[in-house]
Amino acid sequence: MIEQLGLIFITLIPIGLVVLFSICLLRSFKMAPRSENEKHYQDPMTKSRKPFPSLKDTHSKYLSVIIPAYKEVDRLPVMIRDTMNYIEQRQTNDASFTYELIIVDDGSPDKTSEVALTYSAQYGTDIVRVLTLDANRGKGGAVRMGVLSARGQWILFADADGATQFSDFPKLEKSGQAAMKNNDVVVCGSRRHLETESVAKRSAFRTLLMYVFHFEVWLFAVKSIRDTQCGFKLFSRQAAEKIFTRMHVERWAFDVELLYIAEKLNIPILEADVNWQEIPGSKLDPFAASLQMGIDILAIWFRYILGIWTVHRKND
């Protein structure tokens, strides 16, 4: 009986691997081209539409803040208030600190764009611009569209829930300035220092999911940092242009792919500990998201290993 069970188990392993391999290869990452509508922002004061610049252009601001937003009518105002409190005070003390916010509505069915446009009206479109996507792309797609439209020397993406205090931006900024190599650097806000506390509060099942995810990311993708998923990341403009023009993943695993690309291009990647807190109202199902991200990480690895996707280009 035991021998029979062992034989069945041994037989099922290659079958399972074939099935997993097939799922990963069949996983679609088709990225919709950017529409004409998505290349423009609306000026709520003049009711006109104006074109976004290109990431390939020379920077004209010190900092661009990209805020991906999906059904964020309630949480966005709190995050904007926290962000503006910091950057307005900093500009008061340092006139060279110029900035912009790009709020990217990721195809929300509610009034997220309308709420965002109130800030364009309040601060002007030189400060706050709203990019409304035609359809939901996923957080990675929203971030990518915002980054490609940015004017900043430094480009930061920050989650609309405001889970990370914006006053922690200087931690990333100083780390990036110190570690920049050939104008390239990526600095990731990190919750690694909060891991012990979070484990104590999580269920055993969610803790297991966390450790399995960390191991999978390390094994198949990113080895240089611990926390790949914190929604508070800073890029030099040149690094952003190299990374975001190579991306294929638009949903939750996009952080892993962009850091994988950065590692392969030898772009310095650092972690900076940030203050972070869980904010109610998340649209994420932990189990479903963990399962999908696990499949996506394997799919990313397969595609790069097999040469379906490539990091290096002929003109690099």
Decide if pLDDT at 22 tops 70: no
Q: What is the pLDDT of residues 98-120, one digit of tens each?
A: 999 999 999 999 999 999 999 99
Query: Which of 163, 196, 226 is the endpoint of a domain?
Result: 163
Phi, psi (deg, nearest 5) at residue 95: -65, -20
Instruction: Specify the residue for token string 């509508």.
Output: 37
Q: How many residues does the chain have?
A: 316
Q: Does residue 4 fall inside a structural domain?
A: no
Q: Does residue 14 fall inside a structural domain?
A: no
The CATH number linked to 114 is 3.90.550.10
186 and 228 in a single domain? The answer is yes
Q: What is the pLDDT of residues 138-166, one digit of tens each?
A: 999 999 999 999 999 999 999 998 889 99
Q: What is the pLDDT of residues 54-108, one digit of tens each?
A: 999 999 999 999 999 999 999 999 999 999 999 999 999 999 999 999 999 999 9
Number of Cβ atoms within 10 Å of the Cβ of 46: 9
How many structural domains are present in the chain? 2
What residue type is 308 in one-letter code? I
What residue type is 85 in one-letter code? N
69 and 101 in a single domain? The answer is yes
Three-class secondary structure of residue 66 per DSSP: strand
118 - beta bridge partners? none
Q: Does residue 88 fall inside a structural domain?
A: yes
* Cβ-Cβ contacts under 8 Å for 33 (sequence gap 6 or more): none
143 and 209 in a single domain? The answer is no
Interatomic CA distance for residues 106 and 136, integer angstroms = 5
73 and 126 in a single domain? The answer is yes
Q: Does residue 143 fall inside a structural domain?
A: yes
Residue-number span of the structural domain to which 210 is assigned: 182-306
Distances (CA, A) of 229 to 13, 105, 158, 188, 290: 31, 20, 12, 9, 12
159 and 190 in a single domain? The answer is no
* Cβ-Cβ contacts under 8 Å for 230 (sequence gap 6 or more): 164, 188, 189, 190, 191, 274, 276
214 and 93 in a single domain? The answer is no
Q: What is the pLDDT of residues 280-290, one digit of tens each?
A: 666 666 667 77
116 and 217 in a single domain? The answer is no
Phi, psi (deg, nearest 5) at residue 298: -65, -40
Q: Does residue 295 fall inside a structural domain?
A: yes
What residue type is 98 in one-letter code? T
220 and 267 in a single domain? The answer is yes
Interatomic CA distance for residues 175 and 59, integer angstroms = 21
195 and 96 in a single domain? The answer is no
What pTM does this model have? 0.89
224 and 159 in a single domain? The answer is no
157 - beta bridge partners? 66, 233
Q: Does residue 20 fall inside a structural domain?
A: no
Q: DSSP secondary-structure letter at 36? A: S
115 and 155 in a single domain? The answer is yes
Q: Does residue 222 fall inside a structural domain?
A: yes
Query: Which of 116, 132, 163 is the endpoint of a domain?
Result: 163
